[in-house]
Amino acid sequence: SPVLFIAGQSREEFQSYLDDVSDGGRACPRPGGASFYTALNLSGVKSPHANLPGDHRQDLRFLANQDGPLVILIGLWLSPEQLPRIAVGGMQREIEALHDSLRDLKRPVLLRVGYEFDGPHNRYPPDAFIEAWRRIALVMRRTPDIQLVWHSFAMLPTFANYPVTAWYPGDDLVDWIGVSYFQVGAEGYHEAPNRDALVAIAREKKKPLLVAEASPIRYTPRQKTLAGKAYWDYWHGPFLDFIRRTPELRAAAYIQVDWDSQAQHRPLDWGDCRLDRDAHVLEHWRNAARESFWLRPSDTLYEQVRAMANSPGE
């Protein structure tokens, strides 16, 4: 089944993928989707927004005005303090305003509510998360083109070591299962990936799977020395293999960024993850991006993405 390719995760990074990787579609196809981040204050929805001065911007209008069809993958940030308020019916006006903005895009939107819900960095109590999700989802369900993505950090340990299913809000309010793909194996900051568990959930529940965030972060001193084929074999090769061998997987989002150039991320020391910064990586990525398993942006793109949520990977 064809896989939608999504580039992100800001205005500048989407443009960089267009210019520096796909060369306007000449070197490899343009992305069929773009990533965008917001919160219940609707940052970036009406005008460009950077989390810190000088950083790359979230700019929904820029994405909506792109030539050709473009599905938009949206990360809705929620603070742990907001969850109990939303759960008892608070912030309803903000939720309604977000719904209206997404409805007005008139295209499929993949909405990641409280993305990486199981990540220790988010500190989401499962019960409050589920209640908040249900409140948000019931509003979003007014518009069929707003597809709801349950997006796991897909790393161990989870927050407070809960099983990932502790956060699951119910089949009726989930359209996609999402995972992050940063650390490939055991070598890195985290104990281990938890992707296989999420693939199994997608398979069992017959939901399409989405790689909602992916970037070849180099965590360790050894990884930071990698270049050329060794760099490709460490991250890009395994990432593409995961896509090819996982029939449930219907969309994948890559983050085309130099993390160290962003004030928000510089302290993390994640490095430059732009595909065009390594000649070997760029050549092999372009070759892979031309393979037939990707969904080509075309007049039927929206119909195909609408069908994915209703008839996941067989």
Q: What is the pLDDT of residues 57-94, one digit of tens each?
A: 999 999 999 999 999 999 999 999 999 999 999 999 99
The H or E element spanning position 244 is helix 237-245
> Which pLDDT band holds residue 266 (cuts at 50, 70, 90)?
low
Can you tell me the distance from the alpha carbon of 36 to that of 87, in angstroms, rounded to the nearest whole number? Answer: 25
Position 259 pLDDT exceeds 70: no
Reported as a single tens digit per residue, the pLDDT across 133-185 is: 999 999 999 999 999 999 999 999 999 999 999 999 999 999 999 999 999 99
| Tokens (6 digits) for 6 | 């999504």
The verdict on pTM exceeding 0.75 is yes
User: Under CATH, to which class is 4-310 assigned?
Assistant: alpha beta
Show the tokens assigned to 4: 């939608």
Give yes or no for residue 130 having a pLDDT over 80. yes
Instruction: Supply the mean pLDDT for the chain.
Output: 95
Strand, helix or coil for residue 80: coil
pLDDT of 312 over the 80 cut: no
Domain boundaries defined on the chain? 4-310
Q: How many CB atoms lie within 10 A of CB 107?
A: 17
Q: What is the pLDDT of residue 264?
A: 78
